[in-house]
Every structure is written in structure tokens, then in C-alpha cells.
Amino acid sequence: MSASFSLSDCDVIGFDLDHTLCRYRLRDTSRLIYDGFSHYLVSERGFSKDLLNPAPEHWDFCSKGLVLDLEEGNILKLAADGSVLRASHGTKHLSTEEIVKLYGQKREWKHFKSISEGFTRSAKYYFYDNYFDLPGALLCARIVDCLGERESSKKYDFWKDMIAAIEHNYNSSAFKENSGLYFPALKEHPSKYVHPCPESVKSWIRRLKEAGKILVLITSSHSDYCRLLCEHILGKNFEELFDIIITNALKPGFFSQTPDQRRFHTLENDKEQDVLPFLDKPGWYSQGNWIQLYDLLKKMSGKPEPKVVYFGDSMRSDIFSAHHYSNWETVLILEELRDDGDKEQEETKLRALKKRVKYEASEPKAPYSPSKQWGSMFVETLPGTQNGVETLVPTWYCTCIHTYSTIAIPSIESIADLPLDYKFTRFSHKLSNIDGYYPQAPREFTSINEPVTAE
């Protein structure tokens, strides 16, 4: 495989929508998601009102790449081999001694093999890898805090209530029915929660089409919500930018399931209609699977094996699945790579000044800023056992980035001004594994003399 990657070599450019083409105003969206879940749990499931109104400092708890151990009520930061690097019980930080007591001298988490082989879902654990998930991590940790100390033999059983809260806010009819808190707020004030696409991104998309690329939008969002977002960020004529739009894709099932399991449907007035035996033309569809999509892409490109690249933000739903099942190139959108982490804070100050409201320094941190409690989501510094030299250990999430992503970028805007034939250095086990980050590797790697590998 070539050490470089270029969009000019691809026949098909695929996009996720949420947190990929559509950038959210993360502070406002995170709070909205948290409120939607917590209000449901308090009003409908009898949970403590203490869950409501998290303090600004509580948001420091949020960090990508964490795993919730549902059996023990613990949140875990894992190394590439599945050992526990850091942990909390609820939001309470666990000491090294407490971690060893719970997980043994080697600090091994027993479910690591199961989750690492395919990002499987389970009633025993949950993996947090995107901004829609992170408010739920904070909420689950605070639920454990509210439930108080448990005997080690007892297991936590609140997950069924969290699932109910998620379904209440995001079920297929919630947008139309204005149920929950999330969709009504987005519909009323989309500009409060969503950044419009910069002109550079719109021009970049048009350049791709002019270069003969087939453009595909694949999102798990339903068609009505997709339409709202796309009209706001791209304009009323957004459909002209894409050859194929697939909504309610229910990723990762779109990639992992067969045509017999996941058929495409036609859409009429945002309602699913006929089940299709195959795709025979471009258009807007619902559900489906990558195999039948790829058959259509062969027909459209005139090539027996068209090369596809897919942009997405979720390791589980987008990157791993498109790489593992479809063998597509993948571009991970990772806002943690942004070098303008203070921009949203400045926007908050400006909004406050306009309203003649005093800006408080206690505003919650931007969700992509490093967590003080969890440290870097990429690496962990361990005390040295020999000569006191510290060891830098890649996290499991970092390993996943290097293994399943072709490259990782902070946003589509960060590459929109580059020529389409620009050659990116891909992640590779044979080279330095930090070279796949564009425009630069995370700050944590800048002082490392030796490359961090994903092995």
C-alpha cells in the first residue's frame, strides 16, 4: 500500500452528516442533549433531581474513548492491550490501589477482547466515541454518584432507563411530533446549535463534483432532520450537491449487515415506502446496506472496483465499520486536533458582551479540550520503573485511530483549500504512526523522540 493518500485517486467521496459535514456548537448541543436525557429520567423514571443542572466544572469529565463498565458503575480509560490506565467510580477518581483491587495487578478489564474485536454493544459496557455520546457519559457517572455506594456483589441496572431516555428524545417520530427536548430546540433555533458550512467547504464539494467524483451522503439521521440540517448548513438546494443520499442508515448496521438483513426503501414525504430489491439509479433512499450501494457505484463509475473514501466522526459507526466491512478508505473527523480551541470561548464572551451580561470564567470547557480528570485521549504517561524514566503509552482509542483511519483531520474546512491531488501521509505500521494526522499531530506527541506505534 502506498504511504500517501489523495482524494484525486478516489472515484467516490462519502460523507457522514452529524459532526462531519455538519459542525455543531458543542457547548450548547452538549447541554441540550444532557438536559433531554436527565429531565426524562427525573420526570418519567423517578431519578434524583440532583441529576439536573450540572455545574460548569462537571463537563471536564467528558472525554472520547472512555468505556462504561455497567456492571461496576466504573468509567475506564484503556490502554491498547485493554489494561486500565485510569478509572472512576461514577465521577469519583479511583487511585492506582483501588484500580488494582478491582481489576487485579495487571489491571485487565475482562470484556476488552469482546469490545475490541468489533465494537460490539452489550448490556455490560458502553463505548463513548462521539459528541452525541459524551453528555451521556457524564449523566451515567452522576447517576452512579446519586445511587451511592453499592456492595461489590450488586450490579447497576440503570442502563435500561438510559435507553428509554435516548429513545424518547431520538425515536423516528420525535422530530415530527416535537417530542423530547432535542428536536424542538433544533427546529426553533438551528443557528444556536449548528455552524453553517463555510464557503470554502461548499466550493470544495462543488470542485469534487466538477472533477467527476460521485458524492454520497450516508447518515443515521432520519430524512426530516437531515433536511433541516442540510438546508441550514448548505442551502435549500443541497440535494444538487450529492448523487446519492441515504438517511436512517442505522450505522454500523449499514456496513455490517447483508442485503437480506437490511433492504433499501424509497421515501415519500419523509416516510419510508417501497422495499427495493436493488438500487438502479441515484436518488434519496432510506436504510439499506453498503453491498447494494457499491453495486450501484460500480454501474455509475463504470469501474469493477471503484475506490471509495468515507468521512465520519464515529470510530464505531463510521471509521471501523467502513474500513473493516467495506475496505473503504476512511477520514476521521477529530475536533480534538483543532488548534483554535479558544474560538468558542471567545464567541461566548462576545455573545455575553452583546447582551451586556458579565462573562463568567466558569463557563464549561469546550468538549474537545483535554479533560483534567482523564488527561489526553491519545496517550497516558506512566511512571518509570527503571531510572525513573516516564513511559508514554498509547490509549486504546489512539490505537483504533491509527489502525482504522486512513488519515485524521480536525474538520473538512481544514482541507477545503488544498488541491484535490494533495498527497496526505496515511497512518501506517511501517512508518511513524502519527504521520496520518493533518495538519499536525496532537500536541501530546510533539515532545516524543520516538514514534508512538499502535501495536
Residues with catalytic function: 16, 18
3-state secondary structure of 344: helix
- Integer Cα distance of 252 and 256 in angstroms: 6
Largest CA distance in the chain: 68
Q: Is 34 exposed, middle or buried (0-12, 13-18, 19+ CB in 10 A)?
A: buried
Phi, psi angles (nearest 5°) of residue 113? -60, -40
Round to whole Å and give the CA distance between 57 and 76: 20
The residues with which 87 forms a beta bridge, in sequence order, are: 76
Q: At what angle are helices 159-170 and 26-45 packed, to 10 degrees? A: 120
Residue type, 397: Y
Distance from the first to the final alpha carbon of the chain: 19
Residues making up the chain, counted from first to last: 455
CA distances from 109 to 101, 105, 129, 168, 442 (A): 12, 11, 18, 32, 27
**Per-residue CA distances from 52 to 73, 138, 156, 178, 303 (Å):** 19, 12, 20, 21, 55
DSSP 11: S
Q: Which residue has the cell 470554502?
A: 200
What's the CA gap between 216 and 283, in Å, rounded?
A: 10
Residues β-bridged to residue 379: 394
